[in-house]
């Protein structure tokens, strides 16, 4: 495989990959050809693996776990591999960003920024590997000493989505590895390239064979089989709440494997009258347009103080009109292509519903003709009510619904009026308001006077139907461990049989 591609031109021919198992490449009998959503030309060819391929990959991960070639290393040794991986990612940053853009459709500048975040994930994971520890209990009496051990859970299945193929992968992989686990990864069939490139990176960094395996194919076959596999000890799934619900049932019906789930969101951005309205409008425009709104933490519900609602919506609409939508390989592009045809149709159908339901369209509202590829203008609806589908459903596109409120209590109630609880944001210059709202809105991530801020030191995850568990940071390493209580008797036994 070519090691470096920095050109912004399209590839002359699709890049062909194998799948990665037990430390090496394996060829597929059938291949899936992926066309760039921004350009409509074939860019990669990925194997359609079989369930037998998956079984072999799980067996490789099990061997690697049981032989303790990874779990048996010290935290410092594991950290060394993760730090070397970070260095290699830094060297291959432009190449990885390029293939991420070609398969996903996101802007090249955004993709490079995401790789920088991924490098940070490996560096934080390395630190967490050295700091992972248990506990001790010296309070059980003179003759009994207690220890709490954290041990790796075992073989982890990891299913990742198409919206952030590499970023979501790297918000999990270094922390799973830091815990001492081995894994089998199933990326989305439309965005598998960078997950496979990471296999090369980890091998070069010194990761033992069988610790990281990638099996490509559809969610209905390979994803389902991975979820149901009896020799997988834990499954991490990122995707829709509907599919997450089926994952829960499949895991329960197989071996009661432990689950980590990051699911849907319908995230509020609350703007009070005392906020810096220009800042808040820029944050709202970014929050709904980043990654073309195909982001589980997109701020898709604007909840704005009625006293400034009209003024704020006007400022916001003007900002959204200035967003540069275009070719993902253009350095000036801020919003790229919609990743799949199905998602493009879904977004457009919700825009049509918003118009039909009586919401007022302030800007955007349709597809943009760029000559090739699928593009949608960032869209703002005003006068949205909780009964409207655009105000309740996760659209997963650049469509922002604006509500208004009169009191803080009403703002909090509107923010919490959703089955989801993934992320939220509040904009105010009043510290009492900021603290009150951030403590009472039910969401796993919260931003005050900012949006999508922070790094991998902080945990990621949701409340309610947005998922279970936490990723990243020390919490993310602990998520992939089991807790074991050990009792040590240090004295003469008091015999039960006299």
Extract the runs of DSSP E, i.e. beta strands, from 119-224.
135-137, 144-152, 155-159, 182-186, 212-214
Could you give the dihedral angle defined by the CA atoms of residues 178, 183, 188 and 190, in that order, rounded to the nearest 10 degrees?
90
Find the catalytic residue in 114, 189, 262, 478: 262
Rounded Cα distance, 58 and 257, in Å: 14
Whose tokens are 């303790």? That residue is 68
Decide if 296 is catalytic.
yes
End-to-end Cα, the chain, rounded Å: 73
Our CA dihedral for 239, 357, 421, 245, rounded to 10 degrees, sits at -40
Cα dihedral across residues 388, 389, 393, 397: positive or negative = negative
413 CB contacts (<8 Å, ≥6 apart)?
A: none
Q: Which of 118, 170, 181, 296 is catalytic?
A: 296
* Residues whose CB falls within 8 Å of the CB of residue 351, separated by 6 or more in sequence, listed in order: 364, 365, 366, 376, 379, 390, 399
Count CB atoms within 10 A of the CB of residue 209.
16
For residue 262, indicate whether it is catalytic.
yes
What amino acid positions are annotated as catalytic residues?
Answer: 262, 296
């Amino acid at each position: 495989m070519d090691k470096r591609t920095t050109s912004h031109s399209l590839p002359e021919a699709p890049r062909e990959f194998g799948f990665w198992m037990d430390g090496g490449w394996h060829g597929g009998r059938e291949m899936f050809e992926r066309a760039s959503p921004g350009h409509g030309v074939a860019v990669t060819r990925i194997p359609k693996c079989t369930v037998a391929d998956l079984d072999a990959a799980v067996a490789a991960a099990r061997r690697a776990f049981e032989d303790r070639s990874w779990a048996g290393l010290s935290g410092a040794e594991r950290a060394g591999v993760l730090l070397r991986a970070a260095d290699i990612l830094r060297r291959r940053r432009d190449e990885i960003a390029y293939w991420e853009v070609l398969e996903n459709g996101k802007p090249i500048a955004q993709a490079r920024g995401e790789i920088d975040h991924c490098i940070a994930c490996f560096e934080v994971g390395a630190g967490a590997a050295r700091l992972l520890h248990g506990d001790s209990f010296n309070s059980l009496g003179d003759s009994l000493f207690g220890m709490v051990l954290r041990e790796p859970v075992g073989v982890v299945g990891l299913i990742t989505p198409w919206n952030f193929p590499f970023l979501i992968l790297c918000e999990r992989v270094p922390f799973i590895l830091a815990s001492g686990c081995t894994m089998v990864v199933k990326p989305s069939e439309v965005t598998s390239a960078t997950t496979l490139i990471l296999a090369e990176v980890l091998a070069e960094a010194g990761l033992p064979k069988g610790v990281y395996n990638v099996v490509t194919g559809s969610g209905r076959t390979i994803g389902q089989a991975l979820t149901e596999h009896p020799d997988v000890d834990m499954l991490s799934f990122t995707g829709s709440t509907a599919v997450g619900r089926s994952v829960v049932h499949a895991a329960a019906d197989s071996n009661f494997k432990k689950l980590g789930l990051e699911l849907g969101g319908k995230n509020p951005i609350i703007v009070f009258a005392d906020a810096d309205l220009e800042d808040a409008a820029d944050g709202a425009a970014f929050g709904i347009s980043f990654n073309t709104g195909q982001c589980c933490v997109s701020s898709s519900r604007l909840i704005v103080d009625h006293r400034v609602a009209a003024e704020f919506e006007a400022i916001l609409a003007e900002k959204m009109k200035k967003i540069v939508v275009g070719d993902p390989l253009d350095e000036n592009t801020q919003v790229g292509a919609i990743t799949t045809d199905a998602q493009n149709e879904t977004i457009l159908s919700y825009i049509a519903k918003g118009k039909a339901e009586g919401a007022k369209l302030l800007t955007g509202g349709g597809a943009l003709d760029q000559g090739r590829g699928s593009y949608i203008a960032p869209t703002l609806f005003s006068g949205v009510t909780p009964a409207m589908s655009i105000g309740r459903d996760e659209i997963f596109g650049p469509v922002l619904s604006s509500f208004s409120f009169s009191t803080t209590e009403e703002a909090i109630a509107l923010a919490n009026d959703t089955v989801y609880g993934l992320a939220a944001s509040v904009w105010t210059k009043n510290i009492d308001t900021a603290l009150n709202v951030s403590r009472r809105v039910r969401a796993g991530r919260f931003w005050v006077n900012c949006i999508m801020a922070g790094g991998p030191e902080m945990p990621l995850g949701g409340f309610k139907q947005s998922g279970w568990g936490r990723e990243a940071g020390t919490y993310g390493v602990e998520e992939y461990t089991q807790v074991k209580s050990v009792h040590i008797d240090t004295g003469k036994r008091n015999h039960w049989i006299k």
